[in-house]
């Protein structure tokens, strides 16, 4: 299966694993964000918006009409690289964010998302700058080329519920520093996201259509319409909690960040770590993302 990520709008979900925002020092950003229940994710944020990537056939705006874009220009810079992370100039703290990411087919109705149908999933690094004063989440996410990662080893979704393939998968992540492999995020089951499957799907449709430009959140529906209502979008559905090592060690030049999605009935976190140490190739039922950090 071939997918062109450059033509998809891409997003992340903030706060879909209890405790991650606190570890990342970002909980205070969402103190005024109201949610329907305490465990609900806080917001969706854009990481890449390909302006005018499609025709306006799905959009209510008149095709070819002249208007001023509301989408910030930095979001139109393609940030994904499967092999490397380029360290952001002038920054001191960047952190691996290990996630499961899903590509969805989108059904549109008059500029609104009517249906999200998951197609494939894979390992994602929603790499983030830790800094004070950023008004929007996206300002810490896309600093240009090679600032994020998404594996090309994608696995088909059969059914997006507890009977499907995703219910078998876990997310593991590691930093390789000077030849030593460190566990970076807590090894976590995809099924243990706060919102997953139908509940997550409904929540994402609500946010893609109605999220307002408030606090750290943005009006992402306007961005999607400016992108021509793309027929596919990619969403990283939330970062896991960090190990003590991951919480206190930021990425440096020369480090390698690794995110692995693996079926728990065939592998363990230790067996995955041993494969990384020995350089053994992974089988096709594992999605792996390995990125070298460079200046």
pLDDT reading at 276 higher than 80 = yes
> Mean of the pLDDT values across residues 218-240?
97
pLDDT at 65: 44
The token duo for 210 is 């109605």
pLDDT in tens, 151-195: 999 999 999 999 999 999 999 999 999 999 999 999 999 999 999
* pLDDT attached to residue 27: 55
- Reported pTM: 0.92
The answer, yes or no, to whether residue 148 has pLDDT greater than 90, is yes
Residue 68, number of CB atoms within 10 A of its CB: 5
Q: How far apart are CA 139 and CA 262, in angstroms?
A: 31
Cβ–Cβ under 8 Å, residues 5 and 234: yes
Mean of the per-residue pLDDT values for the chain? 91
What is the predicted pLDDT for the residue at 51? 82
Of the two residues 8 and 2, the one the predictor is more confident about is: 8
Q: Would you say residue 199 has pLDDT above 90? A: yes
Q: Which fold has domain 5-64+78-294?
A: Fumarylacetoacetate hydrolase; domain 2 (3.90.850)
The count of other CB atoms within 10 Å of the CB of residue 23 is: 21
Mean local confidence (pLDDT), 142-153: 97
Are the C-beta atoms of 104 and 116 separated by less than 8 Å?
yes
pLDDT > 70: percent of the chain: 88
């Amino acid at each position: 299966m071939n997918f062109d990520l450059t033509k998809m709008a891409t997003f992340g979900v903030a706060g879909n694993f209890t405790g991650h925002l606190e570890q990342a020092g970002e909980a205070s950003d969402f103190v005024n964000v109201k949610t329907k229940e305490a465990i609900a994710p806080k917001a969706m944020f854009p990481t890449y918006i390909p302006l005018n990537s499609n025709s306006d056939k799905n959009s209510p705006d008149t095709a070819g009409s002249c208007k001023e874009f509301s989408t910030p220009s930095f979001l139109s810079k393609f940030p994904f690289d499967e092999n490397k992370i380029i360290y952001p100039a002038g920054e001191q703290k960047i952190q691996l964010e290990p996630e499961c990411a899903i590509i969805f087919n989108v059904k549109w109705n008059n500029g609104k998302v009517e249906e999200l149908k998951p197609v494939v999933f894979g390992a994602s690094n929603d790499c983030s700058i830790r800094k004070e004063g950023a008004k929007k989440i996206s300002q810490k996410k896309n600093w240009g080329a090679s600032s994020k990662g998404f594996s090309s080893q994608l696995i088909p979704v059969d059914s997006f519920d507890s009977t499907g393939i995703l219910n078998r998968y876990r997310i593991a992540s590691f930093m390789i520093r000077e030849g030593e492999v460190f566990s970076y995020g807590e090894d976590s089951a995809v099924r243990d996201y706060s919102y997953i499957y139908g509940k997550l799907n409904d929540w994402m449709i609500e946010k893609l259509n109605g999220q307002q430009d408030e606090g750290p959140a943005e009006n992402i529906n306007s961005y999607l319409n400016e992108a021509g209502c793309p027929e596919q979008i990619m969403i990283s559905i939330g970062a896991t909690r960090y190990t003590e090592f991951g919480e206190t060690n930021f990425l440096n030049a020369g480090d390698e960040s690794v995110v692995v999605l693996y079926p728990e009935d065939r592998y363990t976190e230790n067996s995955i770590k041993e494969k990384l140490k020995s350089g053994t190739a992974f089988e096709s039922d594992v999605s792996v993302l390995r990125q070298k950090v460079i200046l």
